[in-house]
Amino acid sequence: MPQSKAGEPVPFVDLGAQLKGIRPEIDEAIAGVLERGDYILGESVELFEQEFAAYCQSRFAVGVDSGTSGLELALAAFDIGAGDEVITAANTFIATALAISHVGAVPVLVDIDPGTFVMDVAQVESVITPATRAIMPVHLYGYPVDLEPLMELADRRGLVVIEDASQAHGARYHGRRVGGFGHAAVFSLYPAKNLGAFGDAGVIVTNDPSIDQALRLARNYGSLVKYHHLTKGRNRRLDTLQAAILRVKLPHLDAWNQARRANAAAYDQLLDASRAVIPPPRAAEGVEPVYHLYVVRSPDRDGLARHLRDDGISTVIHYPVPIHLQAAYADLGHGEGDFPLTEGYAREVLSLPMYPELAAGAIERVVASIERFAPAGRLASESIWAGT
C-alpha cells in the first residue's frame, strides 16, 4: 500500500488511482466495441446485464442511462404515477425524490433511524395512506436499510418496494446482497459510485419477468424488434462503451469494497481512540456495509471542514440540505423541525476521504489533522448527538 507523506494533499476520491491498475483491460474493452461496431445495446450491454444480475443474485438486470432514469423507469414499470404516494427517507440524495416526482407521484418522507442514518423502518407504517403504492428505501453511504421488517410490512400492506441501491453495490444484509430484497432495485453507475462507469450509467435488477420486459421496452422506444413499438417507450439505454468498461470493473468490485471496509476500520480505530469527532455507527448484526462514504459528525462541522481544507485534505457534505427543506420541494409544505434527526444530521455530517486505494498513511494524516482542530474528546461530547 502506498504511504502518504506528511503534508501531501489527500483527495476526497481518486478515480485515477483505480484506473491505473486496470488501464490495459479498459483500452482492450473499448477497442473491442470499436471493432464490433455494435454501438447501441449490443454484446457489451447484454453481457454486463447477465454478469451484474448474477453478482446481485437476481434473475434480471436492465442497463439504463443513469441511476435517476432507473428509479423513474422502475416506478413506471409498476404503474406508479399521478395520484400515488411513495415513501422514502428525508436523508437522501435528491435524485431519489426527483424520480418519484417525475412519474407524477408524491414523495412522502420519513426521518432516519436514530442508531444509523438510513430510513427509520419503524416510522413507515404511520405514513401509509390509501394512496401509498410503494416504499423506496435508500441504502445510504453503502449501509443497508433494515430490510427484513420493511419487506414484512410491505407484504402485509401490499406495497411495492424499489430499493435505491445507488450507494450500496455489493453490500449484504443477512448474507444476501442488497438489490435482491425489493421487487426491483436501482443502482447508479455514476463514476464515483462503488461501481462506476466513465460517464452516466445505471442498472435495474428484478426477479420479475414481466417487470424485466416492461423495463426493456421502456428504455428502448417501446421496442424489442426494430421499428415495432409495443409501448410509448423512451430512449434511456445504457451506453455500450460504458457497459464494456463496467464489465472490466465488475470483477474487481468485491476487492474494492473489501479495501473500503479495511479503510473504514482503520478510521474507526483511530477515531475511537481520539473521540475528536463521532465516527459512523458500527454495522448492526447481519449487516455488511460497503462504505461508499465514511461520514463523521462534529458540532463545528464547517470549522472542521475549513481546517482540513487548509491542511490539504478534501471533504464533502452529504447532504447539506434535506429533501424537505430544498426549494424544489417547497410544495410538500414541510418546514424546519419536521424531520429533526435528519436536520441535525445535515448540520453535523462531514464525509472524509474514502476510496479503495486510500493509503494507510493518508488515513493517519487525516485523523492527526482532525485531532489538531478538535482536542480529544471535547467536540464529540458537545454534539447534539452525544449520548445517542
Binding residues for ligand PLP (CB under 6 A): 66-68, 92-93, 95-96, 138, 164, 166-167, 188, 190, 200, 202
Q: Which is nearer to ligand PLP, 71 or 276 (CB)?
A: 71
Is the bond preceding residue 227 a cis peptide, omega within 30 degrees? no
- The three grid cell numbers given for residue 148, joined into one nine-digit string: 427484513
DSSP reduced 3-state for 138: strand
Q: How far is the CB of 53 from ligand PLP (least distance, A)?
A: 19
Q: How far is the CB of 322 from ligand PLP (least distance, A)?
A: 13
Q: Which is nearer to ligand PLP, 191 or 361 (CB)?
A: 191
* Residue 86 burial class via C-beta count within 10 angstroms: exposed 0-12, middle 13-18, buried 19 and up: buried
Q: How far is the CB of 340 from ligand PLP (least distance, A)?
A: 22
Q: Residue of minimal CB distance from ligand PLP? A: 67
Q: Which is nearer to ligand PLP, 346 or 374 (CB)?
A: 346
Interacting residues of 196 by C-beta distance below 8 A, sequence separation 6+: 15, 189, 190, 249
Q: Which is nearer to ligand PLP, 169 or 365 (CB)?
A: 169
Q: Which is nearer to ligand PLP, 95 or 244 (CB)?
A: 95
Q: How far is the CB of 68 from ligand PLP (least distance, A)?
A: 3
Q: How far is the CB of 12 from ligand PLP (least distance, A)?
A: 15
Positive or negative: CA dihedral 356, 362, 368, 374:
negative
Strands 160-164 and 132-136: parallel
Q: Which is nearer to ligand PLP, 102 or 334 (CB)?
A: 102
- What's the residue count for the chain? 388
Q: Which is nearer to ligand PLP, 68 or 383 (CB)?
A: 68
Q: How far is the CB of 219 from ligand PLP (least distance, A)?
A: 14
Q: Which is nearer to ligand PLP, 203 or 270 (CB)?
A: 203
Helix (H) or strand (E) holding 186: strand 184-188
Q: How far is the CB of 67 from ligand PLP (least distance, A)?
A: 3
DSSP string, 271-300: HHHH-SSBPPPPPPTTEE---S-EEEE-TT
Q: How far is the CB of 101 from ligand PLP (least distance, A)?
A: 13
Rounded (5°) CA angle 284-290-296: 75
Q: Which is nearer to ligand PLP, 91 or 132 (CB)?
A: 91
Q: How far is the CB of 376 from ligand PLP (least distance, A)?
A: 33
Amino acid at 151: M
Q: Which is nearer to ligand PLP, 188 or 220 (CB)?
A: 188
Interacting residues of 164 by C-beta distance below 8 A, sequence separation 6+: 67, 71, 88, 92, 96, 136, 137, 138, 139, 185, 186
- The three grid cell numbers given for residue 383, joined into one nine-digit string: 454534539
Cβ pair 49, 187 in contact under 8 A = no
Interacting residues of 318 by C-beta distance below 8 A, sequence separation 6+: 93, 141, 293, 295, 349, 351
Q: How far is the CB of 323 from ligand PLP (least distance, A)?
A: 11
Q: How far apart are CA 78 and CA 213, in angstroms?
A: 12
Amino acid at 378: R
Closest-CA residue to 220 (of 195, 206, 238): 238
